[in-house]
Amino acid sequence: MVTGMWYILRTGVPWRDLPGCFGPWSSVYTRFRRWCASGLWSRLLEAISRGAVGKIRCVDCSHIKVHRDAANTIGGQSNQAMGRTKGGLNTKLAAVVDGIGRAVGLHLAPGQQHDLRACAPLHSHLAAAQLHLHNAGKGMGGVRRRTPRPGRPTSQSSRTSGQLGGGPVR
């Protein structure tokens, strides 16, 4: 069943189009929804983040376009982290990853929200880091100002000339 869930998440196909080799689509869907409601996926991410490698953390945000069929959700769009931008309805995914690209923290925010505000709930995942990498072109310089590290390098913009200055990173 788990492989069926990963298949749906990776390909984006509707649940009813799940290939039969993964079992009945309704069973896979029901188990997925139960696990979402119980918080299992959040606990799995927390367990993975405890095994974060190194002291480098990368922070970035990305827009996810909401399909028009998903626009009228039960509980309203704000309940599903949907926001209106120039391009229509969007959700913003803020992510903190370790030095080898494994997720340490994820947060969904409405699409119109500024990157800095979307990343605010993820600051606890930056506490153990010696170096924060971020995209300065999107106004992420505030991550550096909001997470001071006395006596240690704090952050490095991806726009610099290829040097990760600030001393050795272990």
Task: Give the up-direction half-sphere exposure of residue 93: CA atoms within 13 A in the CB hemisphere.
Answer: 11
Q: Is the dihedral of CA 4, 6, 10, 15 positive or negative?
A: positive
Indicate whether 8 pLDDT > 80.
Answer: yes
Q: What is the mean pLDDT of residues 19-25?
A: 95
Is residue 167 in some structural domain? no
Average confidence (pLDDT) over 81-91: 82
Mean pLDDT across the stretch 83-107? 85
Q: In the prediction, which pLDDT does 50 show?
A: 82
Predicted confidence at residue 32, as pLDDT, reads: 94
Counting residues of the chain whose pLDDT is more than 70, the rounded percentage is: 72
46 domain residue, yes or no: no
Res. 82 pLDDT band, cuts 50 70 90: confident
62 and 145 assigned to the same domain: yes
Task: Using a cut of 0.75, tell me whether the model's pTM lies above it.
Answer: no
Is residue 169 included in any domain, yes or no?
no
Per the structure, how many domains does the chain have?
2
Q: Supply angle C-alpha 125, 117, 82, rounded to 5.
A: 105
Residues 26, 32, 36: CA angle, nearest 5 degrees = 145
In a domain, 168, yes or no: no
Same domain, 61 and 142: yes
pLDDT at 30: 96
Domain, as residue range, for 81: 52-157
Q: Which residue has the higher pLDDT, 80 or 24?
A: 24
pLDDT higher than threshold 70 for residue 47:
yes
Distance CA 162, CA 170 (A): 18
Q: Check residue 57 and give its pLDDT.
A: 84
**Residue 87: predicted pLDDT:** 79
Q: Are residues 129 and 86 in the same domain?
A: yes
Mean pLDDT of 73-97: 80
